[in-house]
Amino acid sequence: MPNHIFLFSGASAVGKTSVLRSLLPLLKQSGAPPCVCKIDCLQSGDAAVFEELGLPCVTGLSGDICPDHFLVSNLPELWDWADGQRCDTLVIETAGLCHRCSPATIHMVAGCVLDCTASCKAPGQLGPMLTQADFVVLTKTDMVSQAELEIISWQIGELNPKAALFPVDGLAGYGIDRLAQWLLEQPANCSSGEDVLRHTMPSGVCSYCVGERRVGGAFQQGVVGKIDFGKEAPVWSA
């Protein structure tokens, strides 16, 4: 089990890979070359980006499974793989899916990557991925005014006052040096071989999880949630 596991989670296209492209060379220079795991759902060409940097990389495609569940199910194998690569640091990038849950465990240094240009309501919609993160990377800061960046930072501070905040411009690499320095200062935290999720995962096991395609009450089994329509609830028809 590697001593340092850095998790980068965040929605699609927020700039996780751009952050890593600037960050990984700095971690490599520091004398502790990491190995990298990319978790995606359908396809990913990012392994090539990491391999170009001369770092061991593995891609996990979750396919039909929730990528967060998939990542947790593969953690022990990832620890062994990192050990086999003789890497003391494992960096994991994952897109997540519904952001209801987070694959962060207690032993990881868990980060959430957020796009400044998204809605200012976006942080409030992220759940434990943001509220339980150890650090938050704010990307595309060159696209917003200083005032907007301050407002977004303040909103994140309200949701997670403990997280270290790193505003960056991933394309030009501004701000990545501070993030690298901070990550390298984090104490080793992973050697026990045991780990626990910070937050429970959604309890969604319904017909649709196992391949059902037909719509209608008759085809819904397992854990099924319903919208609360308030007083004017429509009449239920099965």
Partner 1 sequence: MECLTILPGHDKRGTVESFLPIHLKRGQLYTIVGNTGSGKSRLIKDVEQLAQGDSVTGRTILLDGAPVSRCHRQRLSGQLVAHLGQNMRFVLDTTVEDFLRLHARCRSREITPEEILKLVNEITPEPVTLGQSLNQLSGGQSRALMIGDIALICDSPIVLIDEIENAGIDKQRALHLLRRQDKLVLVVTHDPHTALMSEQRIVLGGGAITAVVGRSPAEAALYQQLEAEYQTQRRYQTLLRKGELLA
| Structural contact between residues 33 and 65, judged by C-beta atoms closer than 8 angstroms | no
| Structural contact between residues 8 and 91, judged by C-beta atoms closer than 8 angstroms | yes
Give me the least distance between CB of 144 and partner 1, in Å please.
Answer: 6
Under the binding rule (CB under 8 A), the answer on residue 121 touching partner 1 is: yes
Closer to partner 1 by Cβ: residue 174 or 208: 174
- d(CA 154, CA 147) in angstroms, rounded, equals 11
* E strand map for 23-101: 35-40, 57-61, 89-94
Which of 31, 43, 147, 232 touches partner 1 (CB under 8 A)?
147
Reported as type and span, the H/E element at residue 111 is strand 109-115
Closer to partner 1 by Cβ: residue 96 or 167: 167
Under the binding rule (CB under 8 A), the answer on residue 175 touching partner 1 is: yes
Residues contacting 165, CB < 8 A, separation 6+: 135, 136, 138, 153, 156, 157
| Structural contact between residues 36 and 57, judged by C-beta atoms closer than 8 angstroms | yes
| Structural contact between residues 9 and 104, judged by C-beta atoms closer than 8 angstroms | yes
- d(CA 66, CA 77) in angstroms, rounded, equals 18
Give me the least distance between CB of 167 and partner 1, in Å please.
Answer: 8
Closer to partner 1 by Cβ: residue 87 or 114: 114
Binding region for partner 1 (CB under 8 A) out of 6-14, 52-60, 144-152, 191-199: 144-152
Binding region for partner 1 (CB under 8 A) out of 51-59, 91-99, 170-178, 212-220: 170-178
Binding region for partner 1 (CB under 8 A) out of 43-51, 60-68, 119-127, 208-216: 119-127
Give me the least distance between CB of 121 and partner 1, in Å please.
Answer: 7
Count of residues near partner 1 by CB under 8 A: 24
Give me the least distance between CB of 171 and partner 1, in Å please.
Answer: 12
- d(CA 84, CA 9) in angstroms, rounded, equals 24
DSSP secondary structure code for residue 118 in this structure: S
Which of 29, 181, 191, 221 touches partner 1 (CB under 8 A)?
181
Which of 29, 145, 191, 221 touches partner 1 (CB under 8 A)?
145
What residues pair up with 206 in beta bridges, in sequence order?
Answer: 222
Which of 144, 197, 201, 206 touches partner 1 (CB under 8 A)?
144
What's the CA angle centered on 102, arms 67 and 137, to 5 degrees? 105
Under the binding rule (CB under 8 A), the answer on residue 29 touching partner 1 is: no
Interacting residue ranges for partner 1, rule: CB under 8 A: 116-117, 119-121, 142-148, 150-154, 172-175, 177-178, 181
